[in-house]
Structure 1
């Protein structure tokens, strides 16, 4: 079953780290990604650009309303994701617990709808 591990972090925290701490952070995420690949559970992953590059679209009175920035202000922002394929929720939680984001943010684990046919949308 596929699960999306969404990493929520304070995007302003990166700039406060020393170069050595940033290097250590990159290394920890690289090691985590390598472990997912080695376990053959990684389907996809990406880091997102800063929330200042976000555009939010919603319908208002039957028309699209386009807003700059993220939908909601919060202390932590969606910073990236890992899409994994594991047997069950317990396995997904185990991988989420190993994610470096848990040390400076949170990881939300959400199952992907099974048997969703994109050609029917």
Structure 2
């Protein structure tokens, strides 16, 4: 199912987006990580459900929020690690493509040399 952050037409939901991005120092980097955004969004949904359940059970919402703080930091850390992994994967893909380009240039040079030798043999 499509994420609430991206909406049905994959457009950002400004309310959810603001709540998620306020947690992170590099907001532009966060926006580019769909996996991290969806992960944080699921956490926010679960956190809201937990808080609603506490209110319905007439438990202290202040104490409930205190319980969530350490988990929120853990979720934030996981999201930041996800962003870091995505960045490394992108860098590795770019290096791989660059290596492929180098190999293609070498192969082209070999083929051109071979073709010119064949032409000179005729």
Normalised by the length of structure 2, the TM-score is 0.31
**Higher RCO, 1 vs 2 (CA within 8 Å, ≥6 residues apart):** 1
Please tell me whether Structure 1 or Structure 2 has the larger radius of gyration of its CA atoms. 2
- Choose between structure 1 and 2: higher helix proportion: 2
- Choose between structure 1 and 2: higher strand proportion: 1
